[in-house]
Every structure is written in C-alpha cells, then in structure tokens.
Structure 1
C-alpha cells in the first residue's frame, strides 16, 4: 500500500466511522402498534447509555423522572425533572409521531442547529413496568446515540436490565458508555420540583 494512501486512511477512517448511522436493533421485534395513551405518564430513568457518555459522567447523573404528556391525542410533551441538591433542573421537548409505531422526531425549538435532527424510537415496552428507548441525533459533524431504560418504579426485574444491555450492544456501546443513577439513598420528593 502506498504510504500516502495509508496516511489518508488513518486520518479519515475515524471520521467515516463516526458518521455511521447506528444499526437497527437485532433481536428486538419491530413494534406493530404503539398505544400512546398507555405509554403516557411518569417514568423513572433507571439507566442511560450513549456514545457521548463516559465514566466521568456517572457522578453527574442524579436520579430523575420523565413525564410523557399526550397532547391532542398525537404528540407528547416530555418534561424531565432532576434534583441537584436544593435546586431542581427541568427541561422539556416535544415528540412528533412519525408513520412508524412508537417512532418520533424531536421538535426543534431553536436550541439546536437547524441541521440537527433527532429521532426517538420506543424499542420495547410493556407500558406498566419498563420501556427501552433509542435516540439517534444527527449533528453536522457526527451521530449521537443514546439508549434509555425507563421504569414505572425504581426497581425492575433483572431481565429488563439484561434487555437494556443487549440493546446497547446492538448500538456498539460498551460498559464505559453506561450511566446508572445512584438511588440507594434517594427518595423522590414531589415538593422538590
């Protein structure tokens, strides 16, 4: 191989790989229908994994709650609430449904570049105990992948955590990309947010 060709490959291959779209989850059946009315309500974020997370982020994640409110029987207003000491951080966005069951796009309200596009897909849910959600955000320079494990309670069966780990592996994420909030001494205070 010509040395210039090898040098070009070394410098461009990481950029080429970084821009690849995450793979379709293997071993997870496509949702044939999605019941928005059953999905709405309060979910606890039990685990996150993403290609933009690393071990240092573990200390930054406090337990938090996500509320999915169904609006006009079509889109969701999503509100996240996380306590940090005595203050409460709240952020929200709108999910617009696509033609595929359980798949949404995030409505862009000026906080991101117009070129950024985020798709969110409910990969698996039983509506009463757990949900696995995949988010793929395309920026102008790379793709950000995030997998969320949601539960209706702070405790879920181990097999649901195993499904979460399987889903992260289909997205080429490693154990270094996992972030679990520490809930050992934390009890939600409804008055805090």
Structure 2
C-alpha cells in the first residue's frame, strides 16, 4: 500500500508526494502534475520526467471530491506504452460498492480480475 498526497497550487497544478513502505523503510518522492489538454487531465511537468519516461498523463474519470477519485494513466517508458487505473481514497478503507464500481470501470478498459488489486491497509509510513 502507498499514499499519494495532492496539494493544489495557485496555478491549478498539483504537488504530489508519494509515500511507500519498501524494504523496511519509508520512501518518498515528489512530482508535479500540471493541467493538460482537457479539464481533469494532467501530465508530469518536464522537471519531473525521468530518463526513459516520455509520457505520464493522468485523467480523473470519476470523483465525488470528498471520498474518492478514479484515475486513468497513460505512461510511455522506454518506448513502451502502459496504462493504469487507480482508485484513490481519502481513507485507507473504501466501501465495497466503490470497489465494485472501480472493478467495473477497469474491466471496461480490458483489464481482468487478475489485473485488479486492492491493497491491505498498513500503518507504516502511510
């Protein structure tokens, strides 16, 4: 399990701090998401892109602004294009109805049950 903390900036971009518990330590990194082509779509700013990472675009596909945001990302790394769906919540535990909705959304994009993972909440670093 990991956490993303989004901090809205005056220019409508977001500072995103990711924290993950890995190898018995808390690892954090920062990124900046800037508004992209359409409302609800963001990309990494040029300073955040790393070697081999050519594209990182995120679209918020559904949110209630209080409990959750479903997101879809397109990532081009070393000339291979990946996509990812994410369900971000304001709490560590999300209700089963929301998880089902996320599963249905992910499956509509061609993912299978084997591709959909819900992490168990942990206390470390999150």
TM-score, with structure 1 as normaliser: 0.58
Q: CA deviation at 1:140?
A: 5.0
| Equivalences, count | 125
Say which structure, 1 or 2, has more relative contact order (CA 8 Å, 6+ apart).
1
Match of 1:112 in 2: 51
Gaps of 5+ in 2: none
Structure with bigger strand share is 2
Matches within 5 A, 1:87-126: 87-109=25-47, 110-113=49-52, 116-126=54-64
Q: Which runs of 4+ in 1 moved over 6 A?
A: none
Matches within 5 A, 1:66-145: 66-84=4-22, 86-109=24-47, 110-113=49-52, 116-139=54-77, 141-145=79-83
Q: CA deviation at 1:180?
A: 2.3
Q: CA deviation at 1:85?
A: 5.6
Q: CA deviation at 1:95?
A: 0.5
Rg: which structure is higher? 1
> What secondary structure, in the 3-state scheme, does the structure 2 residue paired with 1:179 have?
coil
Structure with bigger helix share is 1
> What secondary structure, in the 3-state scheme, does the structure 1 residue paired with 2:114 have?
helix
Matches within 5 A, 1:1-193: 63-84=1-22, 86-109=24-47, 110-113=49-52, 116-139=54-77, 141-183=79-121, 186-188=122-124, 192=125
